[in-house]
Amino acid sequence: MTYITKPKFHHPSLPKNALGYTHRDYEGKVSTLCAGCGHDSITASIIEACFELAIEPHRVAKISGIGCSSKTTDYFLNASHGFNSVHGRMPSVLTGANLANRDLIYLGVSGDGDSASIGLGQFAHAMRRGVNMTYIVENNGVYGLTKGQFSATADRGSKSKRGLTNNDNAIDLVAMGLQLGATYVARAFSGDKTQLVPLIKAAIEHEGAALIDVISPCVAFNNHAGSTKSFDYVREHNEAVNRLDFISGRAPIHVSYDPGSTQVVEQHDGSRLVLKKVAADYDAHDRAGAMNFLAHHAAKGQIVTGLIFVDSEPEDLHRHFNTVDKPLNTLSEKELCPGSAALEKINASLR
């Protein structure tokens, strides 16, 4: 495979966001994924979300594991640093990066194999530590890159393209995220941009561990009749709890919704989420309720999408560690080295 660059032509009439960036400024390399791969749609939604949020592209660190999904960090935000690390270990790399510089935005991209199979442990511990990040799982129920083996999110009874049946129980990362203390938990479908873009925007603004499980059909290996992650299957079984609109703390946008059907969620950083309810009495602030709701619908074969849980007062790892406000990677010997006088005292205490 060779390296392809996109033509850098900026049309003067391209719309600009609040910082003067165009859509183009949020794009990346040309995708090398299969045509129609759900992951590419997620990439498009990430680009859209970052554009709409008017994030400075270089202030984002994109970190991923290994897989088709993990490759996508190269396909958006060209101006930001990316790190395609090792299979299943994105959470630890992201955690370390986040500790080094609390001022960047951390976007973790992973696959279901990456997060639910080989990396389940790291997934779990990053959630329970409350790392301030947006953690997107591009969930297709298979290992795309290694050609279609079942992953741990494949539903029991689902069939592979080669005709094998999966006998193992499926891991629901959303349920795990809830149980482990993630402070923002959502699910979406890659093909539903109107639902996904606001979810990503809100996750980025959320100052804690934000998980979005995005069902993302693999057209090469998991979009056939026996698959429960195919476009058709998901469309038929989708149970959306809400439709989200996102109002950034920096650039308030006015939206008007039927008061009877919206719920406003104030995020810690001042941004607001407006939930347009579909399910009659869904409360996105109730962790236990969300778990019940999820289990209830799963039993009926329904996939709940939308913002499933949010804690509007999240705590993150830096707060737990009480780290200084300045990024640790900017500290110099002046702040870090106690000097020879202190060492003399230590010597004296060791005699």
Ligand X SMILES: Cc1ncc(C[n+]2csc(CCOP(=O)(O)OP(=O)(O)O)c2C)c(N)n1
Give the nearest distance from C-beta 183 to ligand X in angstroms: 24
Q: How far apart are CA 289 and CA 18, in angstroms?
A: 38
If the CB atoms of residues 165 and 329 are measured against another protein, the closer one turns out to be 329
66 binds, among ligand SF4, Mg ion, ligand X, none (CB under 5 to 8 A by kind): ligand X
Orientation angle between helical segments 90-100 and 120-129, nearest 10 degrees: 30
Is residue 79 near another protein by the rule CB under 8 A? Answer: yes
Is residue 112 near Mg ion by the rule CB under 5 A? Answer: yes
146 binds, among another protein, ligand SF4, ligand X, none (CB under 5 to 8 A by kind): ligand X
Choice from 21, 25, 37, 178 touching ligand SF4 (CB under 6 A): 37
Choice from 203, 218, 244, 303 touching ligand SF4 (CB under 6 A): 218
If the CB atoms of residues 88 and 208 are measured against Mg ion, the closer one turns out to be 88
Asked if 138 and 111 touch (Cβ cutoff 8 Å), the reply is yes
Is residue 148 near Mg ion by the rule CB under 5 A? Answer: no
Neighbours of 74 (CB within 10 A): 18
Asked if 67 and 32 touch (Cβ cutoff 8 Å), the reply is no
Neighbours of 20 (CB within 10 A): 8
Give the nearest distance from C-beta 78 to another protein in angstroms: 7
Asked if 73 and 64 touch (Cβ cutoff 8 Å), the reply is yes
Is residue 65 near Mg ion by the rule CB under 5 A? Answer: no
Residues 128-157 interacting with ligand X (rule: CB under 6 A): 138, 140, 142-146, 151
Asked if 275 and 263 touch (Cβ cutoff 8 Å), the reply is yes
220 binds, among ligand SF4, ligand X, Mg ion, none (CB under 5 to 8 A by kind): ligand SF4
Measured in residues, the chain has a length of: 351
120 binds, among Mg ion, another protein, ligand X, none (CB under 5 to 8 A by kind): none
Q: How far apart are CA 69 and CA 91, in angstroms?
A: 15
Q: How far apart are CA 309 and CA 29, in angstroms?
A: 33
Is residue 69 near ligand X by the rule CB under 6 A? Answer: yes
All residues at 6 or more sequence positions from 307 whose CB lies less than 8 Å from its CB, including other chains: 184, 185, 186, 199, 202, 241, 242, 244, 265, 273, 275, 284
If the CB atoms of residues 66 and 240 are measured against another protein, the closer one turns out to be 66
Give the nearest distance from C-beta 340 to another protein in angstroms: 5
37 binds, among Mg ion, ligand SF4, another protein, none (CB under 5 to 8 A by kind): ligand SF4
All residues at 6 or more sequence positions from 165 whose CB lies less than 8 Å from its CB, including other chains: 157, 158, 159
Residues 118-147 interacting with another protein (rule: CB under 8 A): 121-122, 124-125, 129
151 binds, among another protein, ligand X, ligand SF4, none (CB under 5 to 8 A by kind): ligand X
Is residue 333 near another protein by the rule CB under 8 A? Answer: yes
> Site map for ligand SF4, 132-171, x if CB under 6 A?
--------x---xx--------------------------
Residues 74-133 interacting with ligand X (rule: CB under 6 A): 87, 111-114
Q: How far apart are CA 304 and CA 311, in angstroms?
A: 18
Q: Distance of CA 171 to CAs 8, 42, 329, Å?
A: 42, 21, 37
Orientation angle between helical segments 287-299 and 173-180, nearest 10 degrees: 160
Q: How far apart are CA 205 and CA 235, in angstroms?
A: 28
Binding site for ligand SF4 (CB under 6 A): 33-34, 37, 39, 68, 140, 144-145, 218-221
Which stretches of the chain bind another protein, using CB under 8 A? 1-3, 56-59, 61, 63, 73-74, 78-86, 89, 91-101, 103-104, 121-122, 124-125, 129, 317-318, 321-326, 328-329, 331-333, 335-340, 342-344, 346-347, 350-351
